[in-house]
């Protein structure tokens, strides 16, 4: 699945494994938005990353698992919640049971 966007601030992904939705608890730091709240994996774009490269890197950093592009089911571009006049990308993907079992927090 290719997402046609060249200028975006970051990505979030809803990852399903069967009927389970993967969520993470944000760090409890006053310096970050929505500290100590549950959210979906993802984060800010680095360099010229594509939306998939951005979310795959973030998922690996946060959960220690590798995503492949064939796991993607859906995507949509939305206005950024943090930056006026910018865009973010929301994706939905499917994890295998092996990937789910390999998550490292």
Query: CB of 79 within 8 A of CB of 1?
Result: no
- pLDDT, tens digit, 9 for 90 and up, residues 43-102: 999 999 999 999 999 999 999 999 999 999 999 999 998 888 999 999 999 999 999 999
pLDDT value, residue 3? 86
Per-residue confidence band for 2, with pLDDT thresholds at 50, 70 and 90: confident
Q: Domains of the chain (ranges plus CATH)? A: 10-101 (3.90.79.10)
Q: How far apart are CA 12 and CA 30, in angstroms?
A: 21
pLDDT value, residue 82? 84
Q: How far apart are CA 20 and CA 9, in angstroms?
A: 27
* Residue recorded with tokens 């998922």: 59
* Residue recorded with tokens 């601030």: 9
Q: How far apart are CA 85 and CA 64, in angstroms?
A: 32
Name the residue among 37, 38, 50 with its Cα closest to residue 10. 50
Strands 24-25 and 38-39: antiparallel
Q: What is the DSSP letter of 30?
A: T
Per-residue confidence band for 1, with pLDDT thresholds at 50, 70 and 90: confident
Per-residue confidence band for 103, with pLDDT thresholds at 50, 70 and 90: very high
Average of pLDDT values for 6-27? 96
């Amino acid at each position: 699945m290719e997402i046609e966007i060249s200028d975006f601030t970051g990505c979030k992904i809803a990852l399903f494994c069967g009927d389970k939705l993967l969520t993470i608890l944000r760090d409890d730091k006053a310096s970050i938005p929505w500290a100590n709240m549950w959210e979906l994996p993802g984060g800010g774009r680095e360099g010229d990353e594509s939306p998939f490269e951005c979310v795959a890197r973030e998922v690996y950093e946060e959960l220690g698992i590798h995503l492949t592009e064939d796991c993607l089911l859906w995507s949509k571009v939305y206005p950024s919640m943090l930056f006026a006049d910018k865009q973010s990308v929301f994706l939905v993907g499917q994890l295998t049971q092996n990937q789910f079992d390999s998550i490292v927090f």
